[in-house]
Amino acid sequence: MPSQKSMRVARRKRAHNLPLQTKAKTQVRAARQMIESGDVEAAEKAVREAAVALDKAAQKGALHANNASRRKSRIMRQLHQIQNG
């Protein structure tokens, strides 16, 4: 069983990180839906918003930098596929 202090710290970190993680995940999900719908302009905007959310989460430590980079790369690749054919 963790100590009282480590439980307090974990709760505080979770309270700080969870909204950032949730926003990033929501933005990525919205971007993927826009990409699947085929609306290129809306998809570009959604992908930009998702990239910003991922960068902020990584910068503040809610996500690992490589994890955010990988997710950005994947949605960018999906966007380029619908843009180019």
Calpha distance 40→59 (Å, rounded): 28
Helix (H, G, I), strand (E, B) or coil at 33: helix
- pLDDT number for residue 1: 76
- Tell me the pLDDT tens digit for each residue of 48-64: 999 999 999 999 999 99
- Tell me the pLDDT tens digit for each residue of 3-55: 999 999 999 999 999 999 999 999 999 999 999 999 999 999 999 999 999 99
Residue 85 has pLDDT above 80, yes or no: no
Domain that holds residue 39: 4-83
Tell me the one-letter amino acid at 77: R
How many structural domains is the chain composed of?
1
Domain with residue 27: its CATH number is: 1.20.58.110
